[in-house]
Amino acid sequence: MEWSVLFNTFIGVIAILNPIGNMPIFLGYVENENPKVQRAVALLMALSIFVLLLVFFLFGTRILNVFGITLPAFRLAGSIMILLVGLRMLQGKSKFENNGIETQSVSGGTFSQAGNSLSRILVPVAMPIFVGPGTITTVILYAEKSTDWATSFMMILTLLLSAFIVGIVLFCSRFIFDRLGRNGTQIVVRFMGMVLCAIAMQFMIDGVAQLLPGVLNAEFVHSAMAQ
């Protein structure tokens, strides 16, 4: 089991999920809820994100096979998609803007209200704002690196950790946003954008290496992906 692959998976998934950058969007959709319901929605949102990540991790490659898409082609297309997301983040822009949908409180317990709120914002907040095309691409490409059950299990735990961190950020979103402010949030978003651009270029290099073996310098190709 290669720990560097697990670390790269964690960094790549966290960067593309962009919890800090998407935090204001989440707040915009739940700002009319009381704090307890907001925190409950955050926990349910994190669970939903993990389920989505797990589905694409386990079945993403099979979905590609159904459509007759090869891994090098998907890797190259995905690298372009991730690069566009990264460039947009470098410009200080979120992937989506709040479309002004307001949540309405309903009667019942905290998690009952949170469940009703989640059902209204699952789309577009969980998908495609958090788990969008770039996230799906990243998860499928990293899933390809799973060469044994131990690595696959650890990658699933990595996805769970990523979703857990998103949940913590959303759970503390009001506190974090007040402390970071708009400028601090923009700094984090731009840094994550730079990381995503670098990841996209590495995916592109690996994709070209598969199509043109022996052409690129092997030192700059991830061996697990070039096989």
pLDDT by residue (tens digit) across 6-22?
A: 888 899 899 889 898 88
Residue type, 118: L
- Average confidence (pLDDT) over 46-66: 92
Q: In which domain, by residue range, is 217 found? A: 3-226
Residue 121 structure tokens: 């914002």
pTM for this one?
0.70
Whether cis (ω within 30° of 0) applies to the bond prior to 128 is: yes
DSSP class of 91: T
Given a contact cutoff of 8 angstroms between Cβ atoms, the answer to whether 61 and 143 are in contact is yes
Residue 118 structure tokens: 């989640």
Largest interatomic CA distance in the chain: 64
Report pLDDT digits (tens) over 105-164: 455 678 788 888 888 888 778 887 788 777 888 898 888 877 788 889 999 999 999 999
Q: Cα–chain-centroid distance for residue 49?
A: 8
**Structural domain count of the chain:** 1
Residue 115 structure tokens: 């469940």
The pLDDT value recorded for residue 222 is 59
d(CA 36, CA 44): 13
